[in-house]
């Protein structure tokens, strides 16, 4: 079982809907990440949070809005998504964003945009 928990596992939404993805870790890590992964491609970084503050935004469209309520939780708010946003969304955590320790991933949310 992964130590990074993501909910929901699957999500189908229309282009006008608003939904949120959730991620939780209890490893005491202070860096958390959102990735997008398309089929047969490696994960693509979207956002990095360090000590609950947004450190990196990889020029992600504003229809994706991240939030880090506390050191264990990470949300990704979705609004007015496009069909090309259908993908596996992965959350990861690591002890610190500038450390040399590995990131640990959750099992992702499979998102389908109708």
Q: Is 55 in the site for another protein (CB under 8 A)?
A: yes
* Residue 103 sits in the site that holds another protein (CB under 8 A): yes
φ, ψ at 104 (rounded to 5°): -115, 130
Cβ atoms of residues 32 and 49 within 8 Å: yes
Site for another protein in 11-50 (CB under 8 A): 31, 33, 40-43, 45, 48, 50
Instruction: Name which of 3 and 18 has its Cβ closer to another protein.
Output: 3
- Choose one: 14-22, 64-72, 77-85, 104-112; the region binding another protein (CB under 8 A): 104-112
Distance CA 75, CA 72 (A): 10
Please list the residues that pair with 64 across neighbouring strands: 78
Which region, judged by CB under 8 A, interacts with another protein, from 11-19, 64-72, 75-83, 99-107?
Answer: 99-107
The DSSP bridge partners found for residue 17 are none
Strand partners, 108: none
Task: Assess contact for 62 and 79: CB atoms under 8 A.
Answer: no
Query: 67 vs 97, which CB is nearer to another protein?
Result: 97
**Of 12-20, 59-67, 78-86, 87-95, which part binds another protein (CB under 8 A)?**
87-95
């Amino acid at each position: 079982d992964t130590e990074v928990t993501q909910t929901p596992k699957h999500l189908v939404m229309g282009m006008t809907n608003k939904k949120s993805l959730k991620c939780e870790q209890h490893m005491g890590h202070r860096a958390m990440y959102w990735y997008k992964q398309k089929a047969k491609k490696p994960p693509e970084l979207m956002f990095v949070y360090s000590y609950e503050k947004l450190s990196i935004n990889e020029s992600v469209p504003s229809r994706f809005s991240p939030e880090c309520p506390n050191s264990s939780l990470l949300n990704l708010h979705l609004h007015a998504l496009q069909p090309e946003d259908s993908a596996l969304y992965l959350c990861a955590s690591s002890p610190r964003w500038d450390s040399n320790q590995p990131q640990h991933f959750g099992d992702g949310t499979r998102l389908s945009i109708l």
